[in-house]
Every structure is written in C-alpha cells, then in structure tokens.
Amino acid sequence: MRRLLWVFMIIVLAPQCYGDQAADKITKLPGQPDVSFDQYAGYVTVSQKDGRALFYWLTEASAESSSNLPLVLWLNGGPGCSSVAYGASEEIGPFRIKKDSSGLYLNEFSWNSVANLLFLESPAGVGFSYTNTTSNLYNTGDKSTAQDAFTFLVHWFDRFPQYKHREFYICGESYAGHYVPQLAKKIYEFNRKLKSSPFINLKGFMVGNAVIDDHYDGVGTTRYWWNSALISDSTYYSIMKTCNFSSHNYSLACNVLLDDVVNQEMGNIDQYSIYTPVCTEAEGNKTKQFQRFRKSLLRRKAGYDPCTENYAQIYYNRRDVQKALHANTTGMPYSWTDCSNVLFENWVDSDFSIRPIYKELIKGGLRIWVFSGDTDAVVPVTATRLSLAHLHLKVKTPWYPWYTNNQTVGGRSEVYEGLTFATVRGAGHEVPLHQPRRALILFKSFLKGHSLPSSRLPRN
C-alpha cells in the first residue's frame, strides 16, 4: 500500500511543484554560434527536505525530424565529475570551448545530430548541482545517486511531457559504469510495477570504458599495464602476488605498488590516453594520479587538446555564462569545478560488481552495448573483456573488425546474446574526444540496434 501511494505521489502530484520548461529555455550562450536547435537548462529538486537539486542541460536534436528522435541521458563518472565539463563540452555535445574561453564553436561530430541529449550533473555537489544540507556531501554513494537520478527523471519528464513516451536511452563512461546500469535497473523495476505502458520508455543503455567488476577490473588493468610495456616484469608479478583484487581494502604493500611504483615506472604520461600529450599549462591541472584505479578520478585530458578542461573551468565560472544557463541561482559559496574531491573522497557505498545487474537487464530485453577505447590505462579494454567474459554469454557474431566510411578499421566487435561489445581503435578513456567520427558511428549503430559495419565500403 505504501509503495502504491509513493508511485501515485510521484506521478500525479509532482507536476504541481517542479517548474516550467519555458523558464528553462536558453536564449543564447555567450560566444555561441547560431544553431537551429533549442536548448534548455536549469534545476530539478530531488529533495525538498534537504534542499537538494540537480542541474541539467538539454540540447535538442539538430535534425528537422527532432520531434521523432530519441532522448539520450549522458552521465559522467568520477564519482564526482561533471557531465557538463566532459560529456557536453569535450565529448558528445554540440559545442567546444575556445582556448581563450571567450566563446564556443561547433562540434562536427555531436551526437545531437541523431538524438536529443540530456546532460545531468549528478549527484548533488557535482558542478552546479547542489544541496543545502552539508551532510549530504559526506553520505553520498551508489544507492543515493541512483535514487536521486531516478527522482530527477520523473520530475523532468513532468516538466517536458513531450518526451514522456519517446524512446529513451542512457549512456556514459568510466564510473558511470555504475551509474548507468543502476539507474536503468531502477527504471526497469519501476516500469514493471505499472500495469499500463512504461512511465519512462527505456529501451537500453551504452557505457564506455566502464567500471564493472572490481576483481576483474583490477586483474585486467594490471595485465594491460604489463602488455603495453608501462610497467616492469617485476612490478607486474609483485602486484599480482601482493594485491587482493577481491577485497574492497588493499594492503599497504599493494597501495605502495599502485600509488608509487606504477606511477614512477609509467612516467609523465596521461594514463587515460597513453599515446597523447599531457597538459603542461598549469601545475594545478596536471593529471591527478589515482590511489585506487578502480575508482580513478576523472581529472585528466588528452586528445585534440589536452588542456580543454582548463577552458571549461574558466568558461563555466563566468557570471554571464551561468546566467544564460540558469545556473548557480542560489549563489553557491564555491566555484564550479569539473570534479568534486569532497564527493570522491567520501563516497560511502560502491557495488563491488555490476555484473548481476547486467544479467537481470539482459533477461529484461534491454539493448545493452559496452565499448572501450583501446589506449586507456585506467579502465582498459582488458578489464572490460574479463568482466564481460564472466557473464558467460553465448556468442552470436564472433570477433571482427569494423570500419569507418573511409575504409579505416574503427575497432573490433563481438556480439553476444543480449549484449554487444566494441573497441574503438586509437581512443583513450573519453572515446568521443579522441575518436569523434568513430564514436558517432558507434552511437548511430547502437540507436539503430545494428551491428557495426563489418566490411569496407566501396571507394567513391
């Protein structure tokens, strides 16, 4: 009875107090080029009691048929990192920030060419999302993050009813390897309780370089370091002998190996993209090395421009930008940052393995894709392959190279019963940053539910 009452209150009563989409419409961002699509941004309250609200940014599809295209929620990981800083501003969003932070320019390979993109800064304490109850920042974890994201969606769909029955997908990367399946499970379970059509029309999810299983991630990551000649033979064997990857708590000896010896042997490289330059513009923005790589903080960069997150730091702290985005309306007593150290260092719960959720949602018939940039040394392709191998799925289409439209190998793929896995050649941790064309091909194939192109296309 209590459960039914809660469902009624969320679905029926929520629209009375959660805002108007017209008030969230963005006229134009400072330094923004002219575009043909609409944008919205603002806050959705997820806890009135605690004064907790999450910030979103919607960039609608640029295609003329945008009203028929799906809605895609994008989440970055960390935990504690901003989807505005990463997903929207340097990966899949329609804009890139200029080097002098004076304005924006268009991203040729934006995913809003084929879908409506909803970026969410989650949980509260990330980016512009906030809480008026300080203790929330020290008691956040997987469970509360999933619940708040679900509550956000329920209220957001009430604010944007035109999207209520649209095909809906969730995408993300890194520690969003937890966020995305956990949120998908909440939606899936909620929909099953309804006798009518699904309240949220979730069709599937896709995650890249995703944290999946602590044990297999640990073993697979160590193997990648060794196979990529990043660490010595002796260090590899010492890690495999000393570190118990089946435990949440590593020994002192293991932490010394991971924190000190590994970093020393790797040298000054970007571990999230091992073949691209590091940013040397500012000491404070150098790559933050990890203490436990299975929860590495997403503070780094390489690719087109290894310093791009520095530009975001300046741009999103501009008052005119915040005003245009309807952000920081409460006057937060701190600057906007790409990642929150407070949340990262005080994360209270983390599922050891997400594989049980995969098994449940595969049985539920959701479309599930997992992809890996093959030059990421933090959540590498070997870790993902080990985790997926232990799902023991039947192979439908064996390992094959897939191609881009210029006849170049874009990566490799294997299709299982209920799940598709793909690598993206030459991409680091942020696949759409390092290989935007290949990432867009991947995304289009995912939305269509088609296998990646397995043969070279004819020459023009």
Residues belonging to the active site: 174, 376, 429
Which residue has 């989807």 as its token pair?
A: 83
Q: How many of the other CB atoms lie within 10 Å of CB of 114?
A: 19
Residue 418 tokens, joined:
């209920």
Question: What are the residue ranges of helices labelled H in 95-165?
Answer: 142-159
Return the SS3 of 446.
helix
Q: Which residues pair with 435 in a beta bridge?
A: none
Burial of 26 (0-12, 13-18, 19+ CB in 10 A): middle
Q: Are 181 and 361 in contact (CB under 8 A)?
A: yes
Question: H or E element: which one contains 238?
Answer: helix 233-242
Triad 342, 344, 347: Cα angle to 5°? 100
The full 3-state SS of 11-24, as one line of letters, equals HHHHHHHCCCHHHH
Strands (E), 22-115: 39-47, 52-59, 71-75, 95-97, 104-106
